[in-house]
Chain A
Amino acid sequence: AQSVAQPEDQVNVAEGNPLTVKCTYSVSGNPYLFWYVQYPNRGLQFLLKYITGDNLVKGSYGFEAEFNKSQTSFHLKKPSALVSDSALYFCAVRDGPQGAGNNRKLIWGLGTSLAVNP
């Protein structure tokens, strides 16, 4: 079955340090992977996605993510965290055309709360 996991409910990092928010997935075909961010009382904002091609994907606000097929992971990273990066981060996965999981709906992780301390 198609699934996505964000193993950490919360991540704390000091401003200026690198940050990583983890995501692992399970699909039957090749995955389409997405990262979104949600600020308090706001909707979700798109950060980046992996469809095919280079394993390292660069997105908005200096974020990037690395697709690792052998580890079925798509961790979100940023070299130097800002206090303004504090928010809720969601990973989502959809099965690719060769897969048949869940009618290829977008499946969401439960979110990781990132706190960047000044």
Chain B
Amino acid sequence: KAGVTQTPRYLIKTRGQQVTLSCSPISGHRSVSWYQQTPGQGLQFLFEYFSETQRNKGNFPGRFSGRQFSNSRSEMNVSTLELGDSALYLCASSLRPSASTDTQYFGPGTRLTVL
């Protein structure tokens, strides 16, 4: 069974631009969570989607948004990029929503660099 895939793997943008990252969960998984990972802050939860509905949201500004499609694939969008948005963005999938006992399985991440 294929794992979680994320595209693109690497991305370089300039301040003020916007970016869209994509995540395809493990087949059969309906919950997708997004995280931002930076050296100083560790993993910060962005949001979680289940069955095309946002179930949970972290403490990020409105420039960060996401959505989930009927096939469970998810995208996140960051508008008006800032230097501080440079990070590794990780997607994780699980069978059920994260409030369950299910394990989250992570993709390889998208490394975003904002210049």
Interface positions of A (Cβ within 8 A of B): 32, 34, 36, 41-46, 49, 51, 90, 94, 103-106, 108-111
Name 30 interchain pairs, CB-CB below 8 A, sorted by A.
A34-B103, A34-B104, A36-B106, A41-B111, A42-B109, A43-B4, A43-B6, A43-B90, A43-B106, A44-B106, A46-B103, A46-B106, A49-B103, A51-B101, A90-B43, A104-B98, A104-B99, A105-B48, A105-B56, A105-B58, A105-B98, A105-B99, A106-B45, A106-B98, A106-B104, A108-B35, A108-B43, A109-B42, A110-B42, A111-B42
Q: Which residues of A contact B99 (CB under 8 A)?
A: 94, 103-105
Q: How far, in angstroms, from A94 to B98 measured CA to CA in the complex?
A: 9
Residues of chain A with a CB closer than 8 A to B41's CB: 110
When the two chains form their complex, are residues A44 and B45 in contact, meaning their CB atoms are under 8 A apart? no
Separation of A90 and B41 alpha carbons in the complex (Å): 13
Tally of contacts, chain A with chain B, CB under 8 A: 52
CB of A32 within 8 A of CB of B4, answer no
Docked Cα-Cα span, A43 to B6, in Å, equals 10
Interface bits B20-48 vs A (CB < 8 Å: 1, else 0): 00000000000001010000011101001
Residues in A whose Cβ lies below 8 Å from that of B111: 41
When C-beta atoms are compared, the residue in chain A nearest to B44 turns out to be: A108
Contacts of B48 in A (CB 8 A): 105
Is B105 interfacial (CB 8 A cutoff)?
yes
Interface residue total, chain B, C-beta cutoff 8 A: 24
B90 and A44 contact, CB distance less than 8 A:
yes
Q: Which residue of B lies closest to A51 (CB)?
A: B101
Cβ of B66 < 8 Å from any Cβ of A?
Answer: no
Interface residues of B in 41-72 (CB under 8 A from A): 41-43, 45, 48, 56, 58
Complex: how many Å from CA A108 to CA B41? 10
B14–chain A nearest beta-carbon distance, Å: 23
Which B residues lie within 8 Å of A32 (CB)? 101
Cα(A51)–Cα(B99), bound, Å: 12
CA–CA, A103 and B100, complex, Å: 11
Q: Is the CB of A46 within 8 A of B42?
A: no
- A110 — which chain B residues lie within 8 A by C-beta? 41-42
